[in-house]
Amino acid sequence: MKKELKVIGKPIPKHDANIRATGKAVYGHDIVMPDMLYGAILRTEHPSAIIESIDVSEAKKLAGVHCVITAEDVDVNNIGYKRDHPILKTGEANCTRDEIAAVAADTKEIAQQALKLIKVKYKVRKGIYDVQEALKKSAPQINKFISGKFENKNTAEIFHYEHGNLEEEKKRSKHIVTRKFTLPRMTHACMATSNITASFNLIDKKLLLYSSTQVPFLYQRDMAHALKMNPSDIRVIQPVIGGGFGSKLDMHPFEPICALLSIKTGKPVQILYTREEEFIASPIRQPMEIELTAGVDKAGNFTFREINIVKDNGAYTSWGATTPFVIMQAFSSLYKVNAVKFDAMAVYTNNVFAGSFRGYGNPQATFALERVIDLLADELGIDKAEIRLQNANRKGETTGQGLHFETCGLVECLENVISKSHYNKKKSINKEGRFKKGIGLASMLHVGGGAKIYRSDGCGTILKIDPYGYCTIITGSNEIGQGSETVLAMIASEELGIELKKIKVINTDTDVKPWDVGVHASRTSFVAGNSLLGAIKILKEKLNKKASALLKSGDSEFEYSDNKIISVKSNDSIALDKVVREMHFSEPNELAIADYFYEPSSKFQDKDFKGNVSGTYAFASQAIEVEVDTYTGNVKVLDVYVAQDVGRVLNPLLLDGQIEGGILQGVGYALTEELLMHEGKILNPNFHNYKMLTASDIPNIHFSPVETFDKEGPYGAKGVGEAPLIPTAAAIANAICNALDLEFLDLPITPEKVLKAISLRNTKNNSKINSHSL
C-alpha cells in the first residue's frame, strides 16, 4: 500500500524556519504603515459594576490624541458565537476584561496617558464568581443579551446526548464508580501577544486588516457583521503568527475596536497587547466540573457512562461554550461503551470567558475518563493495561454516536506504549523511600479529518506553474506555525517533480486565496492537502496533454521528476518549464493553472449529535513515568512514551515538533499551569507566577508513529496537531496516583496539593483520601 515516495515522509525543515530563526519574519508587531496611530483600550476597574458615567473630555484634549471612542460613539452589532458580547460596554461592566473606551494617538505613550485621563464613575456590585451561585433563582441575570431560551436565566448553553439503554447497563454492571473532577483555567500564552493593524480607506470605504486570526474567512464575515459592512469590503491579511493554539478562533473586541478607531480617524491604527494584557484579556481553556459515573461488567467490559458537566462560561459566550461537541465524542466513543448519557451546561458568571484551546475540551474529558478507568480496573481487580486493551476501539467500528472508524490504530498504540515503557514491570515497582516512582496510561480519540461544524469543512486551492518551472500554491488554508505550508510544498514537490525551493505557498490574503474554514480541529494538512492533490490532478491532465503533443508520441501516462515530464512508455522526457511555455505562448494559449475545492466526506451531525462528523479519526496512547518527591511534593515527569495513529507520517521532523510541544503543554496542564482568579480578577497575569514550563522541563519523549493509511487522507495521513496534549494530563495523574496510592481529582496537581495529600494521609493514617477533602 505504501508507495515509494521521494519527498513525503522525509524530515524536511519548516519552509520558513530560517526567516523565523533569524528574526526576519514579519509579525503583526513589526508592521508600520504611513501615518499610523497607536490604539489602546481602557478596561473596567471592577469585574462587576454599574457604569454611571464616562467622561472622555480630558483625554480628547491631550495633544497627540486623534480619537476617543466609547459605546456611545459607534453603531455596531454584538459579537461572539451567541452575539451576546458588546464590543464596547455601556451601562454595566460584567468582566475584568470589559472594554469601556478606546483611544488612538500618535504614540503608544500618549495613548496610555490618554487612558488615564478618562474618568469613569462605577457603582461597584457584588459579582457572581461561582457557577452554583449563578444558578440560584435569586441570582441576577448576568448577560442581558441572551433571552429566555433556557429555564435558568444564567444558562448560556446546554448540550444533551445519549445512546444505548442506560438503566439496563447500570443493572448489569459489576462495579460503578462516581467521581467529580475540577479543571482549571489555562491560558494559551502565545509568544506573540495579540495584535492588529487596521486601515480604513475613507475614499473607497474599504477596510484592510493585518490580523492574526486562525479563521480569516469566518473572521471577515464576523467583522462585517460587527461593523455593519459588506464582508467583501474587508480584506484580511495575516502576518506571521506567533502562536494560535485555538486562541484566535474567536474574534475578540479589540479587533473591531481597532477597525473603528481607523474608521473614525481615516488613518491606520495598530493595537498591540502588553504581556499583562495578554494574560488578562485573551481567552483561556474552559474551566469545568465533570461528574462522571461509569460502570464495568464482571468480564471487564465497559457498560455505561453518565456525565454531568457544568462549565464556567464567564460573562460572554465564545466558541469555548461549544467544546461539549468534542467532549461528548470522548465520552461516547473512546473505548467501546454500550450506553452513554451526557449533559453539559455553560453558566454565565462575572469571570473571564474562555475560547477554544488545542484539544477543544478533550483534555478535560480524557482526564476524567482515564482516571475513572483506572478506578474501575482497581475495583474489578483487573490490570489497567488489560482493561484498556479489552475495550479498545477497533477498525471498522461505528460507535454509538455514529463515528465511523475506517481505520483505527488504538490497539497498536496501546500495545506499543505498554511494551516500550515496560509498563507491566514498572506498575508495581517498590514505592519505598523519599522518591516514589509511578507509571500511568491514557489514550485519546480526536477528529483527524476536519470536523463538520460549519456549512462547509472544505478548502480551495489554486495552483499554477510559471514559464520558469516554478510552482505557486494559492491555498485557502493558513499557517499559524503548525507547518502546513511546508507539507503542502512537499506534496506539490512529490507530485510535480519540482524542487522545494521552486515552490511558493500563498496563503495570507482573503482577497487572493480561495475559501477555507480555517485552522482548527487538526484539519489543515488533511483538508488542504487533499484540496491540493485535487488541483494537481487537474493541472497534470493539462500538462500531460501538452507534453504528449510536444513529444509527438501519443503517450497518455507520464511521470514527473527532476523538473521533467517523462513518458512512462518510451521514457522520453521534456522539461516541465518548456511545456508550460508552450502552453502559454503557442496556440491555443492556455495557462498552466488549476483550481479545486475539496469537501471532506464527513457529515453534519443531527440534532441528537449523531453522525460521522470527521473524515477520519486519530487515536493515541501515552504511558508516562513520574517520580514524586514526597519531601517537596514536586512531580518530575521522567519518560513519556507516545504512540499516535497519524495515518501516515508526512514529515517526521514537523511531527516530532507537534508531539514535543503538545506534550509539554500537557505536562503544564497536569502540573503547573493555572490562571488564578479571585472575585473576577486575575491574580497572576505574568510568566513569573503563571507557571508555563520551559525547555528545561521537557521530559524524555519516546515517540512511535502508528501508520494506518486512511484512504481519506493525503497519502493516508490524519490530523495530528491537537492529539499529543490530550491524554498527557490524564496519564500523569494516573502515574502520580500509582506512585502514591492517593487520588487526585483536580488539575493542576501542584507540589502543594501533593504534599497536603501525603500529610493528610500521614495524620489520618488513611490510605484512600481524595484531594477534594483537602
Contacts with another protein by CB under 8 A lie at 109, 434, 631-634, 671-672, 676, 683-684, 687-689, 691, 693-697, 750-752, 755-756, 759
Count other Cβ atoms within 10 Å, centred on residue 572.
16
Minimum CB distance to another protein, residue 141 (Å): 32
Minimum CB distance to another protein, residue 756 (Å): 8
C-alpha angle with apex 125: 121 to 131, nearest 5 degrees?
140
CB of 674 closer than 8 Å to CB of 186 = yes
Pick between residue 350 and residue 630 the one whose CB is nearest to another protein: 630
Report DSSP state, residue 750. Answer: -
SS (H, E, C) 580-608: HHHHHHCCCCCCCEEEEEECCCCCCCCCC
What is the rounded distance in angstroms from the CA atom of residue 248 to the CA atom of residue 339? 36
Grid cell 476524567 is found at 368
Minimum CB distance to another protein, residue 691 (Å): 5
CB of 249 closer than 8 Å to CB of 220 = no
Minimum CB distance to another protein, residue 244 (Å): 23
Pick between residue 108 and residue 235 the one whose CB is nearest to another protein: 108
CB of 651 closer than 8 Å to CB of 10 = yes
Pick between residue 626 and residue 649 the one whose CB is nearest to another protein: 626
Angle between helix 362-380 and helix 384-391 axes, rounded to 10 deg: 120
Pick between residue 90 and residue 689 the one whose CB is nearest to another protein: 689
What is the rounded distance in angstroms from the CA atom of residue 323 to the CA atom of residue 424? 35
Pick between residue 604 and residue 631 the one whose CB is nearest to another protein: 631
Pick between residue 653 and residue 760 the one whose CB is nearest to another protein: 760
Minimum CB distance to another protein, residue 754 (Å): 10
Minimum CB distance to another protein, residue 44 (Å): 20
Give me Rg for the CA atoms of the chain.
27
Pick between residue 487 and residue 635 the one whose CB is nearest to another protein: 635
Minimum CB distance to another protein, residue 258 (Å): 24
Grid cell 493515541 is found at 620
Q: Compute the residue count for the chain.
A: 774
What is the rounded distance in angstroms from the CA atom of residue 333 to the CA atom of residue 161? 12
Pick between residue 424 and residue 694 the one whose CB is nearest to another protein: 694
Minimum CB distance to another protein, residue 499 (Å): 37
Give the burial string for 263-298 (b: 16+ CB within 10 Å, else e). Answer: bbbebbbbbbbeeebbbbbbbbbbbbbbebbbbbbe
Minimum CB distance to another protein, residue 625 (Å): 18
Pick between residue 225 and residue 756 the one whose CB is nearest to another protein: 756
Q: For residue 638, what is its C-alpha cell? A: 521522567
Pick between residue 444 and residue 635 the one whose CB is nearest to another protein: 635
In the chain, the N- to C-terminal Cα span, in Å, equals 55
Minimum CB distance to another protein, residue 109 (Å): 8
The DSSP string of 635-669 is: EEEEEEEEEEE-SS-S-HHHHHHHHHHHHHHHHHH
Minimum CB distance to another protein, residue 692 (Å): 8
What is the rounded distance in angstroms from the CA atom of residue 5 to the CA atom of residue 12? 14
Pick between residue 468 and residue 687 the one whose CB is nearest to another protein: 687
Minimum CB distance to another protein, residue 684 (Å): 6
Pick between residue 132 and residue 632 the one whose CB is nearest to another protein: 632
CA distances from 183 to 213, 363, 683 (A): 27, 10, 18
Reported as type and span, the H/E element at residue 431 is none
Pick between residue 57 and residue 689 the one whose CB is nearest to another protein: 689
Helix (H, G, I), strand (E, B) or coil at 176: strand
The residue among 726, 750, 736, 621 whose CA lies nearest residue 666 is 726
Minimum CB distance to another protein, residue 678 (Å): 9
What is the rounded distance in angstroms from the CA atom of residue 422 to the CA atom of residue 373? 20
What is the rounded distance in angstroms from the CA atom of residue 115 to the CA atom of residue 632? 45
SS (H, E, C) 111-156: HHHHHHHCEEEEEECCCCCCHHHHHCCCCCCCCCCCCCCCCCCCEE
Pick between residue 398 and residue 694 the one whose CB is nearest to another protein: 694
Minimum CB distance to another protein, residue 751 (Å): 6
Pick between residue 386 and residue 660 the one whose CB is nearest to another protein: 660
CA distances from 496 to 102, 548, 565, 574 (A): 51, 16, 9, 13
Q: Is the peptide bond before 216 cis (omega within 30 degrees of 0)?
A: no
Minimum CB distance to another protein, residue 635 (Å): 9
Pick between residue 376 and residue 749 the one whose CB is nearest to another protein: 749
CA 505 to chain centre: 23
Minimum CB distance to another protein, residue 605 (Å): 40
Helices (H) and strands (E) in the chain, counts: 19, 30
Report DSSP state, residue 715. Answer: G
Grid cell 467490559 is found at 301
